[in-house]
Every structure is written in structure tokens, then in C-alpha cells.
Amino acid sequence: MPIGIDQFDDAPGETLEIQTGTNAHTILSFLAEHRDQAFTQSEIRERTGVARGSVGTTLSRLEDRGLVRHRGRYWALAEDDRLAAFAAQTAASSASTTDDYYSEG
């Protein structure tokens, strides 16, 4: 669906739009939950369930956007202001899911 040119012009240029349910969202969410660690592609695949052939491609695309970084075999979340809100949202979502799961109903 098209948007008006005023809405287009007024939209912030540095927003982070990662659609829920995509490989990119899954990997970024995982890395955001583990900001203090770096992982190999195999570890990311095992921990997220993203298909083997998709992990490397997704990480490369995220790196091109400045959202992840890597050294050698290890990948981690980048230091990017756009990720602060994403990480906070991921943490809040995880806490909410945990609360829902363990709450007495």
C-alpha cells in the first residue's frame, strides 16, 4: 500500500525495521539477549533454529547494515544506536513471556 509523500518525507531515516518472524529478527533477538557474548555461525544456528544455509547470508546482510560485527569465526551485536531500542524491546518481550509462563493463573 503506498503512503503519502508527506509521510515519506517526515519518516525518520535511521529507523530499524526488522520484521518479526524473519531470520534477521530471530538472529538479532538472540544476539540482543546475549549482548555480552559472541557466537560462531554454528552456535547461532543451534540456538536459534535458523537453517544452516540461511545463517551466514543473514549475518552478512546484517553486517552490511551495521547491525552485527564479527572477528574471525565469532559474531556479535554491533554498537549501533538503533539497536538500543531493539535490545530493550527484546528484553521486555522476553520478560513478559517469562512472566506469562510462570504467572499463576
Dihedral sign from CA coordinates of 5, 7, 12, 17: negative
Q: Where are the domains of the chain?
A: 27-93
Decide: residue 81, CB within 10 A, 0-12 exposed, 13-18 middle, 19+ buried: exposed
* d(C-alpha 61, C-alpha 64), whole Å: 5
What value does the mean pLDDT take over residues 85-104?
A: 57
What value does the mean pLDDT take over residues 58-83?
A: 91
CATH architecture of 27-93: Orthogonal Bundle (1.10)
* d(C-alpha 64, C-alpha 48), whole Å: 21
Is this prediction's pTM over 0.75? no
